[in-house]
Structure 1
Amino acid sequence: MTAFRTEHRCPLPPAEAWRRVTDWPRHGAWVPLTRIAAEPPGPTAPGTLVVARTGLGRLAFDDPMEVVRWTPPAPDRPGHCRLVKRGTRVIGWAEIEVRAVPGGSLVSWQEDARVRGLPRLFDAPTAWAGRLVFGRVVRHLLATPAHPR
């Protein structure tokens, strides 16, 4: 598997940071060649399927991820979301944690994923690219207000 972690501090309260980083369709604005949708529409909960469609035309593929843990932040605990990749091409998991820190929140994105058929030789560059892409995604989601739900 290709594991990576990225962390970002922001001045937002945990509830707002959580709302922004778990607004799944907005992720697609910052992930190249990707659209993201959640099924069923509405509030996220365990069992929600988040599907990222990446690529162009016939070269596109789906990366379905099931939400298996959904615990929004509260005054006495951090928020935690765990997604398990359920696709045929990409396997693994991702976790998002949002915790209160002095002056705002700390958002952590951790992922351990593999593209089936990709040799292990590509693990290090894939982890580097994951940190780069998801670091950018989290920074932009935290900096850009989400639409109210």
Structure 2
Amino acid sequence: MGKYSLAALKPELVANYRDKRLNSLGRRGELISPNTVRLELALLGHFFTVSIQEWGLGLTYNPVQNIRKPSPGEGRSRRLSNDEEKRLFAVLRQHNNPMLAWIARIALETSIRSQVDVKRRLVRLTDTKNNEARLVPLTRISHRG
């Protein structure tokens, strides 16, 4: 897409880019993940939004806005290696807030840290009594003070 001017980028070109990326191979020879393409499109869309709203480049619309985006997929389940955990807590213990390492330890031990979507205010629970994953909404109540 680098050969086109910003004004020449139309939704059809962005959709073609999406489709080519979804069928292309990454550095390790595997297909590019739909989530990677979704994030690339989000970055491109944000670039157009800033160009229009803040930079006044004279563009009339965002060509990324109305094309279908790949789904984000299920995500990954990953734990820190022992070495990663040791390095993390060595840094956290040096922080001026003594509670930070304690909070990180709880998050690490509960394995729920990667399943919290702060923006959408949801927690995804995968290991439930009835073996069915569910989303739990978070309240907007502030627990400060």
Q: Normalized against structure 2, the TM-score is what?
A: 0.22
Q: As a proportion of its length, which structure holds more strand? A: 1
Higher-Rg member (1/2) = 2
Greater helix share, 1 or 2?
Answer: 2
Which structure ranks higher in relative contact order (CA pairs < 8 Å, sequence separation ≥ 6)? 1
Q: How high is the TM-score relative to the length of structure 1?
A: 0.22
